[in-house]
Every structure is written in structure tokens, then in C-alpha cells.
Structure 1
Amino acid sequence: MSLGPVIVGGGPAGMAAAIELARHGVRCTLLEEAPRLGGVVYRGPLREGVQLDYLGARYSEALEKLHGEFQRYAQLIEVHVNSRVIGAEGFRALMVLDAEERLREVAYSHLVLAAGCHERSVPFPGWTLPGVMLLGGLQLQIKSGVVKPPSPVVIAGTGPLLPLVACQLHAAGVAVAGVYEACAFGRIAKESLALLNKPQLFLDGLGMLAYLKLKRIPMHYGWGVVEAHGEGELGSVTVAPYADNWAPDLTRAEQVPAQTLAVGYGFIPRTQLSQQMGLEHGFSEDGYLRAVADAWQQSSEAHIHLAGDMGGIRGGEAAMLSARIAALSILLQRNVLDSATALKHRERYQAQLDRIIRFRAAVDRYTQRGAGQITLPAADTVICRCEHATRADIDRALEQGVQDMAGLKMRTRVSMGDCQGRMCVGYCSDRLRQATGRADVGWLRPRFPIDPIPFSAFKDVGTESHHD
């Protein structure tokens, strides 16, 4: 029996890869851990009849276009929602926890990893208080049409998502106390020419800033979070001007009343599965780990492809283009397309992608994190929430001569909890790079399973398998 391609991740990248395969008559299987397709960007409301008008006309159009195109090819795409990939069996099969919490083996001829990204955690005193959340999580609340965060809301971090979420919150009837962008305005202005590689996005950004000014929502450039305060829940936030290296000037710190603090300092590729599989990885300029891919989105294993944020954070439109290139590679490998036709299509997608990459490079330059931010946690600030390791524990390990992530894990137990380091590895690797002066401080290969699973999942293991 001939196996088909399998796509991991039902966000924009996974959906685009499935569409491209189906357009050329190739059946595939799409595995998505959420109850709906679309990822965090284009999932849509959780309940029927909920209108998301406050998210803007362009968002609604993009949402409808993607889901409409997917629906046209639905007969060739076998979709499994509520299905979590919890590990791999070599380079030819995945272990999946399905919607009934049964563990299944899913074999494939070709694989597209489109697992998306997760938010970068920035520890500071009070970051574990109820009411303090990551910006993407807050945006999911707004998009749910079900939950609204308690106001006033303070938004802090860096990047174009900050003013976007502030506008969405205000349009949804939530009071925003202020937006604190860590990057100085002059640094953003320097990148304006490069940002014009995507003029519509640049104009959208200006439009959001005009909206915030009109609604009297203050936008503070060169300011960032210092500490969150509260007894049992958030009550206020201390913010301060950031120097060029993002070290806060505490002599000018201000305290702002807030019931919700949304912190957004960028995203990191979700590489837990690609790491566990043993694919080749490298480090980005920002220090995060990412899987290595060639011009056809092929990983170090030619039949395994990377799409979307797996190879670097570039946004939804770029994610879909990289996914279409990955699908073209599979079509070429399966002899559905000849080399000349596949190359022609790839060059068309790549030209569009290159414009986004130039735009994204400008965003990355102005949102580049300053080393001073790692000084924010106090000695008793928890860094690893799973194992309750504090900054003092990490300081002690570094003083004792720890040189890499493996050594830090053995000394402090960071990354040994259920999340396997998703929350703490970023801060820990930053500290190690500072202490050792090395860019490569090692990485920790996730253990199987990469996500916790119930014991009930094992009762049928070995009695049945699923092939596509």
C-alpha cells in the first residue's frame, strides 16, 4: 500500500501545503492539535454566529479566502483535529494522540512540519501573577469571541503585534492603559525604507498608530516592563525607560494600575518535534534554535520538509509561501511535476517570499533584544516554573563553572518539567551566552513524549496502527 504525505500543523502553513498538494491531485493527511484549523492567526471564532468585525476587514477577508480555498480541495485532504503529535518513530512514522486519547502510529511517504511557534518568555518579578499573560494568549482571548481580559490592560514588549492588539482590544470594548514599546522610535524610523518592501503592511502600521492617537491610548517608545505587583492577582505594573541595551532606568520608573499585563517579546519556532526526530538545527541571530532547510524547504532528511515558523519567524503570509514551496518539492519527488515546472512555480513563490523577508529583516533589526533585559529578574524570581528554579539557582550554577545547557540542566533541573524548557530555555541560554561569550551553548533534545499524555492512551498500543 502506497503511503501519502502527512502534514503536522493546521495553521496557515499546513493548510497552504495541503491546498498545493491537492491542487495537483495528491491526497494528504493533516494533523492539527486544536479543535479547528487556521492556527493562532486564522482559526476564527470558537462559537458559531460570533462576529469578529473589530479585528478589521482585511483580517476577515484573509480568513475567508484561506478557509474557502481549503474547502474547495477538502475531498483530497484527510483532516484530523484534536490530534497531537507526541513524538516520532525514526524518519518514517509519527506517534499521535488522537481525539479519543488513543495512541496511534501514523506512517508517511513525505512529511511537512508546520508546527508553528510559541512565544518567548521574559522573566521579571511578578511574571507568574494571575493577570500577567503573553501577548499571543491575550489575542486568542479576543479572537475567541468568548472571553475579554479585565481592564485596564497594559501592553509591553516589542514589535508590530503590540499596536495591533491594542487596537483590537479597544475596538472590542476593553480599556487599554498604555502600550510600552522597548525599542526607541528613532531605531524604528531608520528601518522605514526597508519596511516599504511591504507597503500595505507599513501603511497598516501607520493606520494603527493613528487609531491609538485618536483614541488617546498612549504609545511609549523606549519603555519596557520592570515588575508586576499584586497580592494573588495583578494590581499594577512598574515600567521604565529602556537604554539601548534594554537595561531599565529605575530612577525614572513609573507604576501604572492594571488588571491585565500582556507581554510580547517575539516568538520562537516550535522545534520540539524536529529536535526529537534528530533533524539538523542551527541558531538564529537572535539565539533561538531553528531547524535547517534548503531552498526547497527540505530538512536534513530530503523527504521531510519544513514550513512556516519552523525555519524562522516571518509571519502568516510568508508561512504559506514556504509551505507551497515545500509542497512543490514533494510533488517533484513524487514525479507529479517535472523539474522545469516545479522550478517555475517555486521561483514565483520565492520572489514573493523574498519581499517579505526584506520587510521582516527590518522588523527584526528594530525588535532585536537588548542584553540588559536578562537583568530584570530578582534573585528569588522563578525562571523555570515547572521545577521552581530561581535566578539565584542559575547564578550559583554559573558561578560554579557551568558552560552549557546540559550542565545547567543537571545543576538546576531547568527544562526537566512537563513543558521541557519551552518557558525557561530562552532565558537560560541567554545567560549562558553572556557568561561564556559563546553563541552555541548547546541545546537539550526533548524526550519522548514531547507533550504529557494520559496513561489511558497506552491501553491499545501495539494492537492497531493507522496508515494513509
Structure 2
Amino acid sequence: MSGETDLIVVGGGPAGVEAALAASERGLSVRLVDEAPQAGGQVYRAPPRAFGAKFQQKADPIGVRLRDRLRASAVQTHFDHSVWSASPGYRIDALGPDGAVSWRARAVIAATGAQERVVPFPGWTLPGVTGLAGATIMLKSQGMLPGAVTLVAGQGPLLLAVAIGILKAGGKLAAVIDLASQADWLADWPAIASQPRLALRGLAWQAILRRAGVPVLYRHAIRSAEAQGDQLLVSVGAVDAEGAPVAGRDRSFVVDALTVGNGLTASTDITRLMRAEHRFDSLRGGWVPQLDTDFRTTLPGLYVAGDGAGIAGAAAAAIDGRLAGLAVAHDLGQCDDAAYQNLIAPLRRSALRARKFGTAMAKLMVLRPAQVAAIADETIVCRCEDVTQGEICTAVREGARGVNQVKAWTRCGMGPCQGRICGDIVGQLVTGQGNAREEAGYFTGRTPFRPLPLDELAPPIAYGDLQLPPPAPL
């Protein structure tokens, strides 16, 4: 065991950093653990230090200030550490540059953010096809383009962010393919306008696309992608409001890369492994942990903040992280009731405004059942184990009642990603075969969260040194 502390925060995005700072400021000993080299998360991802000052100047100033405040605090940070297990008694196991490490804490805040969703289509596993989040990492962290000419497709605000990132990095866009309509974008304009800075940025992005002459096809989606030499031939067609294909003339694009994403789902590895209660909320990204108003899960001492509690955006995540950190300080006796109420009252008002914007964006990312119903039988859904839509639906028709039974019958979700990529889609496929969404459930949390090299977890040992038990009697 490498150390004990009052609070461990897993995740170094805006929610995790604000939670750690708030708890530390109230006198708690706090450790923050993240697999990235620096704090910031996906939204405020820091460029590699080795890239030099010119590249560093491109970093988002909000992320820069976040990292500066963290460095100036008493929070113990552990970057480049991948958390692979969480155990009762709040033991957190991680693997870092110097090997395996473990800590125990009185409380844990899971601020693990979100993961992207891709609705499968023929060809989505080909080289050159990446997720919108993957493209974001390439652009922000490495200054790399997905390809010389890229087609950007999917739904939600990340669609525009990636498209603009590609243009700013000197790349070319074949088109932007948006599942939503223009009316969908304007439907919650009052909520979007509640965050003027973000609303104006979105309008500016659309103006940039128009000036660059980039076609934007609303109410369209990817039909298929196939290799054409070193490039991709991508077929695109119209869809209706539910995401179902509409008959008509499809369009084709020959591109170097296709980046596609259909919204986000909450990252719930820790809460699922610890067997906290969850509930299904399509607007907030599917299965999310059940929380009270102070971000407590159904397990005493375990809290969740940020998009891991339900998709709400970076602005809301930062405020909710601070609220969660204060809740821990209150529960561990470092903040009395009066002080706690005074501190959280203005934060909760700010959080309500931020969530209005986040909810409007989340509506654009909601999985539409007809999208999943349109997946062809031969399309791979679980890319780790090459399980197709047809195999999954056959298992359900033959009696599989939930995703874990489908997993046992087909190996869907047993690969390195443990169902993070396919789980939401599999749940909808089970539901589409006549089961209730709640009955379909979610993949049971397992450890390790990520593939790990076993030689990093156990010291070298010679076979002759093994302490073997005596043989069992016959």
C-alpha cells in the first residue's frame, strides 16, 4: 500500500480538478489521479510539454488557469496513472510510470467524464475511420489531422468543434454530415443563449464553415464506408427525425479520413464495479449513477461529479465538481452546516444556468432508436470480438433477456474495451427486440478497467520459488 488519504479524486478534467481544489481548501488531504500527463480532461487537454512554447500558446486559457491553480494547491497529483480497480474500503489501484501503486481513502469522487458513442455502420472499423473524440485528441494533443481531406459526421456540438479544429489546423473538409436539423439546433435557443460565450462561439463556428464553403448536410447520416485504395468511399443519405434512413439519392465522398460520433455516454466504470445503484436516462447519456442532491451515490463515501454523473457539459461539470468537493468536506467534518450552506447556495444557482446549456446540447446527442434499428444484420457491433448485429438479435430472440446474457452467449463486450464502445448500442438492440430498457440493463463492471501488462503488477519470480499448496487427497 502506497498511502492513505482523506479523499481520492479519479479524473483530472474540470470536475475532478475543481472537486480536489474545493476539498483541499477545506483542509482535507486529497490525491488526484489521471491517466493523462496533465490536468484538463478532454475539453481542456494540454499539449505535450515537449512540443515547445509555440504549441503551448494554442492551449485553451481556461485549461491553463485550471492547471495553474492545481499546481499552486496542496493537492497531491498523480498523472500518467491509469486506475484499473476500485475496491471496498475505497482502495484505488493504479498503474503508473514506476509500476503498480495503491491508496486507501475515506471517500472517493469519480470524475471520469464521458466516452463517445458511435452507431455502427458497414465499414466503421476500417483504418481511417475515427471517433470525434479520437479526432479531438489528435488535434489538441498532437497537432495531427485525421487526414488531408476529412468527412465529419454525427450529432451534437463535438461535430462542429472537430470540423473547426480541422480547418484551423490547415486541413480540408469534404462536408459536415449532421443527423440533426437546423430546427433541432434552434429548438432550445433560450437555453443555449443562457451561456452567451458558448452560444456566440457556436455561431462563429457556423460562419467559419460558410466562409470556407464547407457543405453542411442536415438530417443526414453515414450509410457505409469502404476502402478505395488508400482512401475511403463514404456513402451518405438522408434520415428522418427519428434517425431512420429515408429513401432517395445518396451522396458519395472520397476522403482520406472519416471522423464520426453520435453523442456521449457517462463513464461509469467505478460505480458499476462498486455496485452502486444506477438509473437509465437517455437525455443524460444512458445509464448514470443514482445520486442525491449532494452528489452522493447509494454507497456512503462514494461521490460522482461531471459528465460521469450524466452529460451536462464542461461548464456544469466544473461547478458540480466544486459542489461535490464541498460535500465531501462537509461529510468528513471539515465544513459545518452553516458554512456549507453559504458556500453551496451561489454555486447551485450557477449550476442551474450551466445545466440549461448542457441539457440543450445533450438533446442533440440523444440516441434515436431508429438509428439502431437501421443497423444491418452483418454489421459488426462489438469490434473487439467481431460480434454482429445479427448475432446479438438472434441471441435475444432465442431468450437472452439482458446485455449480460447476450455477453455470455456471444462474447459481445468481453474484449479489451469491456463494452464501453458497444454497450449502449447492445442495450438498445435488446430493447428493440421487445424488452424494457431497464430490463436490458448494463454490462456488469469488471476489473481491470483497461488491459494491463501482468509483469507490471507482480514482481518477477522464478518457478522454483512458488509456494505451492500440498496436493489434495485422492
TM bracket (short chain): over 0.9
- Please show how residues 31-430 of structure 1 align to structure 2 within 5 Å: 31-46=33-48, 47-49=50-52, 51=54, 60-73=60-73, 76-102=74-100, 104-231=101-228, 234-286=231-283, 288-430=286-428
8 Å contact from structure 2 (residues 5, 29) kept in 1: no
8 Å contact from structure 1 (residues 182, 224) kept in 2: yes
8 Å contact from structure 2 (residues 177, 220) kept in 1: yes
Report the number of matched residues.
Answer: 455
Deviation at 1:458, TM superposition (A): 3.2
C-alpha distance in 1, partners of 2:459/2:102? Answer: 11
Are residues 41 and 363 of structure 1, via their aligned partners in 2, closer, same or farther at CA, if it must alter by over 3 Å? closer
Deviation at 1:99, TM superposition (A): 2.0
Deviation digits for residues 180-229 of structure 1 (CA, Å, limit 9, x no counterpart): 11011122222212222222211211111111111111222111111111
C-alpha distance in 2, partners of 1:263/1:351? Answer: 35
Deviation at 1:275, TM superposition (A): 0.5
Provide the residue aligned with 2:472 in structure 1. none
Larger relative contact order, structure 1 or 2 (CA cutoff 8 Å, min sep 6): 1
Deviation at 1:171, TM superposition (A): 1.1
C-alpha distance in 2, partners of 1:366/1:12? Answer: 22
C-alpha distance in 2, partners of 1:187/1:41? Answer: 24
Gaps of 5+ in 2: 461-474
Provide the residue aligned with 2:454 in structure 1. 455
1:20 and 2:18 aligned = no
C-alpha distance in 1, partners of 2:192/2:357? Answer: 5
Provide the residue aligned with 2:464 in structure 1. none
Deviation at 1:288, TM superposition (A): 1.5
Deviation at 1:249, TM superposition (A): 2.2
Cα RMSD for the two superposed structures: 2.0
8 Å contact from structure 2 (residues 192, 357) kept in 1: yes
Provide the residue aligned with 2:445 in structure 1. 446
| Paired residue secondary structure (1:29) | strand
Are residues 447 and 158 of structure 1, via their aligned partners in 2, closer, same or farther at CA, if it must alter by over 3 Å? same
C-alpha distance in 2, partners of 1:315/1:151? Answer: 30
Deviation digits for residues 84-129 of structure 1 (CA, Å, limit 9, x no counterpart): 2211221421222232232x33100111111111111211000000
Deviation digits for residues 270-298 of structure 1 (CA, Å, limit 9, x no counterpart): 11121111111111124621112211111
C-alpha distance in 1, partners of 2:56/2:71? Answer: 22
Are residues 296 and 332 of structure 1, via their aligned partners in 2, closer, same or farther at CA, if it must alter by over 3 Å? same
Deviation digits for residues 243-294 of structure 1 (CA, Å, limit 9, x no counterpart): 1111122422110111111112111111112111111111112462111221
| Paired residue secondary structure (1:5) | strand
Deviation at 1:53, TM superposition (A): 8.6
C-alpha distance in 2, partners of 1:231/1:48? Answer: 34
| Paired residue secondary structure (1:452) | coil
Deviation at 1:152, TM superposition (A): 1.0
Deviation at 1:311, TM superposition (A): 0.7
C-alpha distance in 2, partners of 1:118/1:366? Answer: 16
- Scaled by the length of structure 1, the TM-score of the pair is 0.92
Gaps of 5+ in 1: 462-468
Provide the residue aligned with 1:465 in structure 2. none
Query: What amino acid is aligned across from residue 290 of structure 2 in structure 1?
Result: V
C-alpha distance in 1, partners of 2:419/2:262? Answer: 17
Which sits farther off after the overlay, 370-379 or 129-138? 370-379
C-alpha distance in 2, partners of 1:410/1:233? Answer: 37
Are residues 392 and 323 of structure 1, via their aligned partners in 2, closer, same or farther at CA, if it must alter by over 3 Å? same
